[in-house]
Every structure is written in C-alpha cells, then in structure tokens.
Amino acid sequence: MTQRVLLATGNTKKLTELRRIIADNDLDLEVVGLRDIDPYPDPVESEWTFEGNALIKAREGMIHSGLPSLADDSGLCVDALGGMPGVRSSRWNGPEQEDIANLELVLRQIEDVPRGRRQAQFVAVMALVMPDGREFTTRGEMTGHLTNRSKGSRGFGYDPIFVPDEQVPDADGRLRTSAEMTADEKDAISHRGRAVRAILPILARELGLPVPEGLRVEPGALPGADREGPEPTLPASEWTAQIPVIGRPEQGGAKPAPPGVPSSGVTPLEP
C-alpha cells in the first residue's frame, strides 16, 4: 500500500519538485501538502539556523496531520552581506514574502560589489519528523555568484540572479542563472535537490521501504546525511504533549551547524 508523507509547505513549486524527485526514483510514496490537510496557523520561524526552522515546520506538520512530515528551510547566503539574507531570505524586504522585492533589495545592496566578490551559496535543509518523535535533518548547498540583473523565468525566489558554479555552459559558452535551467538540470545540482536526495533514503528506511539504488549513499557522503537533527527548540514535553499517543523523542541529537557557510569559487563568465 502506498504510504503518505506530508511536505509541510503551501509552496506548490516545492511540492511539485519533491513529487518529481520521488517519481524519478520510483519510491512508493504519496506526497501531500498543507492544502490537503485541515488548516492550522503558520508556525513562527524563530530560529537562526536553517535546521532549527525546518524542524519547527516539520514538527507542526506532524502534530496536525499525524503523518511523517518533511519540511525545508532554505535561503541565499551572500558573502558580501556576511551570509545574509540567510534564514531571512523569504522576508528580506519585509513580511510580505514577495520574491521580486527581495531579489531587487539584494541587488541594490551589492550594486557596488565587484564581480569577483559576488560569491553566494544557496543552502537548504530538509527536516523529517516521524510520528514517534524521531527527527532527522539533511543539508544541501549550491555555490555560485550573483549577477547584476535578472535573467530567466523558470525558477523562483533568487534563481534569476544566481549563477551556479556546477553547470555546463550553453552552446555559446555562457553560464546561466538557475532560472534559465531546465527542471532536470536544476534538480541535479540544486541545494534543495541535494537535501531531498539525502533525506529520501532515511525516509525510506524509517517507513520500511526499499531504498532505490540511485539513492543509496554512504554515511557522511553528503553533508548532514543520515544524522539525527538538532535538539528540539522547545523542551520535548511542550510539543509532544499535543500528541497523546506519542512519546518523547530522545534528547542529545546533533547540534545545529555553526554559523557561516563556505565561500564559493568565481565562475569564469558573467551572464
């Protein structure tokens, strides 16, 4: 029987992306989104790490659905801005979460930064919270640099100004933004794609499903793969108390990653 898992997001593009990766790997899973369950208030993303905020969202999804729940937290970390917007990426220009406004603000903030110092990283963390309270996180990164204007219409968020390092130039020898790539090209190298592919073997194992050969990874082969997540932000009793039949998770999981992200190299061509 097909098992159900919740992706705790209202973002239809993220839901489509996860369903596509699962279908590509022949996992017998049905992924539902927040629109498929009874509504509940958006949790406050109060943490200062991607791991912390992803776990907040996954915990709430599990509490309100009773399903194994996945959630991601992702963002753009710009070297010239000291790693910001980071966890504030979706709200960089205010609480309205408007992609274009956020993107334009970042461009204004680095408009005097020379090309060779416009390195940035996309970071994504996927969190998995099981109905028995166990938690896992995986982390994916995509390095690159920022352009000085938007190009492409396929992506979302900061994709139109981000040029990944790890790509094959087009026929004219030009490097493209994430928003100019096909879905398959982006999935293969994206921060979220890497975090998702790292969490799926863990999810399959926890659900008793066979792990597709293409998803088998050795422990430590990907950052964050196959490790339990950080300790709950709240004491376990404050969030598991809402689930009468579920016991407390064990304490003492891996600590959140330290602040800061590695710098990328400089790609040879600027779109």
Q: Answer yes or no: is 158 a known binding residue.
A: yes
Q: Answer yes or no: is 9 a known binding residue.
A: yes
Q: Answer yes or no: is 138 a known binding residue.
A: no
In a domain, 173, yes or no: yes
In a domain, 53, yes or no: yes
CA-based torsion, 23, 24, 26, 27: positive or negative: negative
- Domain residues for 42? 3-240
In a domain, 252, yes or no: no
The full length of the chain comes to 271
User: Which residues 6+ apart lie within 8 Å of 271 measured at CB?
Assistant: 147, 151, 163, 174, 175, 176, 177, 180
Domain count, the chain: 1
**What pLDDT is attached to residue 12?**
86
Q: Answer yes or no: is 69 a known binding residue.
A: no
In a domain, 104, yes or no: yes
In a domain, 184, yes or no: yes
Active-site choice (73, 79, 99, 165): 73
CATH number of 150's domain: 3.90.950.10
- Specify whether 132 is catalytic: no
211, with CB counted inside 10 A (0-12, 13-18, 19+), is middle
In a domain, 75, yes or no: yes
* Per-residue pLDDT reduced to its tens digit, 114-166: 988 999 999 999 999 999 999 999 999 999 999 999 998 887 889 999 999 99
In a domain, 248, yes or no: no
**What pLDDT is attached to residue 217?**
55
Please give the average pLDDT of every successive group of 10 residues along the chain, which has 271 residues.
Answer: 90 86 87 94 91 96 97 95 92 81 95 93 96 94 95 87 91 90 86 90 92 63 42 35 31 40 34 35
Q: What is the pTM of this model?
A: 0.76
User: What is the β-pairing status of strands 29-32 and 119-129?
Assistant: unpaired
Average model confidence (pLDDT) across the chain: 80
In a domain, 267, yes or no: no
